[in-house]
Structure formats: structure tokens, C-alpha cells
Amino acid sequence: MAHSLSPECTPLKHAYDSCFNTWFEGYLEPAVSPSSSEQRAQYSKKKADEFEERCGKVWVEYKQCVQKAVKDKGLGDLLDQARVENPLRDPPPAPSPGEVSSSSSSSQ
């Protein structure tokens, strides 16, 4: 596993990475089996709650450590500038089931 931005954050990063990887493996196994959208939604909610219970605390601690390291290293202004220049955007909405995208329809 890689090191964190700051050496004092690395143990928290490793703890979080380990927790996330274990959780994610369990998340993927049944998630790839066919089921109804309602079953998938229930499963996703259950797994999100499980993640929060198992990994939420270490995630918050790691995030706080990294945020402090960013501030201590004077990187906050650079991050703010990058967010202004390249803001995150919401993805376009997913097509409705049965909807044909314009790229897959043939022109006549």
C-alpha cells in the first residue's frame, strides 16, 4: 500500500485501505448477480450502512489528518484554485430503461 501525503497519516491510510478493500470485496460478490432494481437498492443501502459502521470512523480520522497535512504544507490555496479552474460536475443522467441513445441509432 502506498504512503499518505504526510507520514503521520500513513497508518490511518493503511487502516482505511484495508477496511475499504475488505468491505468492497463483499460488496461486489452479490452485486454482480442478477436481481431486481428494488433488491439492488436494498442491498446497496445495507452495504452503505455496513461501510459506515465498519469503516466510517477511520475514514473520518484519515480525512481529517490529510486535511491538516494539506493546510500545514500550504497546499490549500492550490487546491482551491484547482477547484475553481476545474470544478467537479454532476454526471449526465442515465438513460431510462429502453431508451435508445442517439449514438446507437442509425441514420436513414
Contact assessment for residue 55 and residue 20, using Cβ atoms and an 8 Å cutoff: yes
pTM summary value:
0.68
Across the chain, mean pLDDT equals 84
What digits encode the pLDDT tens for the residues 6-44? Answer: 999 999 999 999 999 999 988 877 655 656 778 878 888
Contact assessment for residue 8 and residue 66, using Cβ atoms and an 8 Å cutoff: no
Domain ranges in the chain are: 7-85
Percentage of residues in the chain having pLDDT higher than 90: 53
pLDDT band at 105 (very low <50, low <70, confident <90, very high): very low
